[in-house]
Chains A and B, each alone.
Chain A
Amino acid sequence: MEVGRSAAETVMSRASVLLQLWMTPKTIVLSLLVLGLVGVLSFATMRELGRATTPAPVAPQPARPTRPALTAAEEAFIKAMTPIHADVQRSLMRASLGQILYKTNDLSSTELKTRMTQALATYGRAETGLRALEPPGSLVRDHERYITAVRLLQESAVEGLKMFKDGKDDHLLAAYPKSQEASDLIREVGGKFWPSEFPPN
């Protein structure tokens, strides 16, 4: 007990000495200055954080449109079209990139010819396959648009392949508008039939 009290007194006495040493006018002024700076910094930080998180006023949102559910017949038809669509898109991509890389001298004319010939064959098979399908009444127009797209792609490929006969690259340029129109049509129909086809990137 006695020892404990003595230790406490010693600690108090040391603290008092330290306090006396610290309590010089210079250290007091310095401490006040530091405290002031910390205060200003804290205020500025809080203000900035408040500003950053202040949301902009929001106008009322209109109701979102909802996609109508497919009937069983529609679903079956789209399912039957799916592999045809996959083939057409892959062939179109290979032919398009083939032309780009041919123009940049990264693909030979022979390789391009192979790709375009293969694409033409795919488009022909796709048209046959599409015509064999019977769309439900609600999808007749989209079915026709897709067939139109595939026909445009065939015409475009035929035009482009002429370059391998006369050696004029201009045929590729002449063939382009039809393949562009076809790709727009396919995307429009694709957006309706395969809504999750191309996710956000």
Chain B
Amino acid sequence: MIQKLLRITTILALIALVGGLGRADVLRADDDNKRPPQTLQSGFESTDRLLRDVERAEKAPLYSAWIVESSRFMNVPFGGFQPDKAGLNTTVNLPVNVGIIEGPDHKLTLYDSGWKQLAYIFDWNTSCCWKGIRDQLTAIGHDPSKVTQIVLGHAHWDHAGQLSDFPDAVVYIQKEELKQIDFFLNYPVDFNAGHIRAVNTVDPLTGAQVGPPEQACARTPVCGYPPQTVQEILGKVLSGKARIVDGRHEIAPGLVIHPAFRGHTYGSQLLQVNTARGQLVFGSDTYSSWTGIRDWLVANIQQTDTIQQFLAYEKCYVLTSRLNSFNNCVAAHEPTSYTSAYPLTANWWNIPNGNCSRAAELILAPGKTTHVPGNPDRVLCVNTTPPPHVIRP
């Protein structure tokens, strides 16, 4: 009898303990009133809202998805990319991945638009493998004229570079991204000699080179947006082919933009895509490194608030929580891209006549035929010779 009473008491105590923990005032991002400090309202999405987006997307059509390598940074110091890896004292090669998403209507959405400035391949002398996205699309069996939308994860030159090559496509960019460039462009110079507002490595006041030669203005807010890139965006705005969004935005059922403000730049944004392997989440440089997301390490810190980058990682964990988890986060510069070490990208091949650039098929919608060649070329190659080009083709 006593033993029975003891058992019942223990069970009741356990239930009370679990219930108490559940009610504890832990910080959960499921309430607007509890959004993390210094997080803009339009940049905040509660866990509940994200999960509702998953539920809604799961009722939407299934998309197919690929990535192509716009170009590749070679021999980048690992510590420069991921501070926690600085001790390894090694270098990594970083692809610049662009997402290609095909809807049930066979129209294509690009996530990022690669880089345009071919000169960089020579200038930095460590880059390789550039190929125009239109050519890449054709070479992997897509029709470039089917590109109707381009979602810019952020507007740095290596991700927003070929917009004018898709004159009919509508570009999606966050207002916050544009506002921050403008704000810092006009930042007072009284106490920082113009460094904070540096557009490039040239000091706007003295004309002198800013920062150490190889670091330059990399971490200043405006650096990374050459006038040429801003012009590309202006062209879209003036021709009525730009949608300036503020926070979450559903482009189509199963295709949802999520803000990731200061996850890399002030107006960074993610793209959730409903597929047969669950929700894919494209992250541009907010998700620079997939292993970074897996291991909770920050990466590619530019105008990044590292807490916001972690919160953006968490958004991926929430959106992919039903299937495949972090394996469905799509990174822009993951060094292990196009290998089995990054399983999502394991089905890769060299793009025919692609100057050593690579493609990977991430997932196909049911009934969709593969774009992977029957006998794919999977011999890793490097070509640092700039392809012949003219300024205005």
CB pair B216–A100 under 8 Å, yes or no, is: no
Interface positions, chain A 156-201, Cβ under 8 Å from B, are 172-173, 176, 179-181, 183-188, 190-192, 194-201
The complex places the Cα of A149 from the Cα of B158 at a distance, in Å, of 23
Say how far B45's CB is from chain A's closest CB, in angstroms.
22
Residues in chain A near residue B178, CB distance under 8 A: 97, 100-101, 104
CB pair B119–A188 under 8 Å, yes or no, is: yes
Say how far A58's CB is from chain B's closest CB, in angstroms.
5
Measured as residues with beta carbon below 8 angstroms from the partner, the interface class of chain B is: 35 or more
B261 part of interface (Cβ distance < 8 Å): no
B76 part of interface (Cβ distance < 8 Å): yes
Say how far B372's CB is from chain A's closest CB, in angstroms.
15
Say how far B129's CB is from chain A's closest CB, in angstroms.
11
Smallest CB-CB A-B distances: 7 pairs = A191-B119, A83-B207, A201-B224, A59-B381, A195-B123, A201-B156, A52-B341
CB pair A187–B226 under 8 Å, yes or no, is: yes
CB pair B202–A94 under 8 Å, yes or no, is: no
Beta-carbon nearest neighbor of A145 in chain B: B391
Residues in chain A near residue B156, CB distance under 8 A: 201
Residues in chain B near residue A51, CB distance under 8 A: 340
B237 part of interface (Cβ distance < 8 Å): yes
B148 part of interface (Cβ distance < 8 Å): no
B204 part of interface (Cβ distance < 8 Å): yes
B42 part of interface (Cβ distance < 8 Å): no
CB pair B158–A200 under 8 Å, yes or no, is: yes
Instruction: Name which of B123, B218, B228 has the most chain A CB atoms within 10 A of its CB.
Output: B228
Beta-carbon nearest neighbor of B265 in chain A: A201
Residues in chain A near residue B214, CB distance under 8 A: 196, 199
Given A86-B202, A97-B185, A194-B201, CB of A186 within 8 Å of CB of B237: no
Residues in chain A near residue B193, CB distance under 8 A: none
Contact for B392 among A58, A66, A101, A184, CB less than 8 A: A184
Interface positions, chain B 279-311, Cβ under 8 Å from A, are 285, 300, 302
Given A65-B385, A180-B231, A188-B119, CB of A103 within 8 Å of CB of B215: no
Say how far A88's CB is from chain B's closest CB, in angstroms.
8
Residues in chain A near residue B181, CB distance under 8 A: 93, 97
A99 part of interface (Cβ distance < 8 Å): yes
Contact for B239 among A62, A104, A173, A183, CB less than 8 A: A173
Given contacts A92-B227, A183-B227, 14 further A-B contacts (CB under 8 A): A57-B379, A65-B125, A87-B204, A89-B200, A93-B222, A96-B227, A99-B237, A100-B244, A187-B228, A194-B201, A198-B117, A198-B223, A200-B73, A201-B158
| Count of interface residues, chain A, beta-carbon cutoff 8 Å | 58
Interface positions, chain A 79-95, Cβ under 8 Å from B, are 79, 82-83, 85-87, 89-90, 92-94
The complex places the Cα of A8 from the Cα of B79 at a distance, in Å, of 56
The complex places the Cα of A58 from the Cα of B218 at a distance, in Å, of 31
The complex places the Cα of A75 from the Cα of B235 at a distance, in Å, of 35
Say how far A59's CB is from chain B's closest CB, in angstroms.
4
CB pair B122–A103 under 8 Å, yes or no, is: no
Contact for A86 among B182, B203, B340, CB less than 8 A: B203
CB pair A194–B202 under 8 Å, yes or no, is: yes
Interface positions, chain B 191-233, Cβ under 8 Å from A, are 199-204, 206-209, 213-218, 222-228, 230-233
CB pair B122–A67 under 8 Å, yes or no, is: yes
Beta-carbon nearest neighbor of B300 in chain A: A201
The complex places the Cα of A152 from the Cα of B245 at a distance, in Å, of 31
Instruction: Name which of A51, A83, A93, A192 has the most chain B CB atoms within 10 A of its CB.
Output: A93
A-B CB contact pairs (8 Å), 17 listed: A52-B340, A56-B338, A58-B380, A59-B380, A64-B125, A65-B122, A86-B199, A93-B222, A96-B233, A101-B178, A172-B238, A180-B235, A184-B228, A196-B213, A198-B200, A199-B218, A200-B73
B47 part of interface (Cβ distance < 8 Å): no
A53 part of interface (Cβ distance < 8 Å): yes
Residues in chain A near residue B238, CB distance under 8 A: 99, 103, 172-173, 176
The complex places the Cα of A55 from the Cα of B380 at a distance, in Å, of 9
B175 part of interface (Cβ distance < 8 Å): yes
A106 part of interface (Cβ distance < 8 Å): yes
Beta-carbon nearest neighbor of A104 in chain B: B244
CB pair B202–A106 under 8 Å, yes or no, is: no
The complex places the Cα of A101 from the Cα of B209 at a distance, in Å, of 30
The complex places the Cα of A104 from the Cα of B119 at a distance, in Å, of 32
B339 part of interface (Cβ distance < 8 Å): yes
Beta-carbon nearest neighbor of B207 in chain A: A83
A110 part of interface (Cβ distance < 8 Å): no
Say how far B150's CB is from chain A's closest CB, in angstroms.
16
A61 part of interface (Cβ distance < 8 Å): yes
The complex places the Cα of A9 from the Cα of B238 at a distance, in Å, of 94
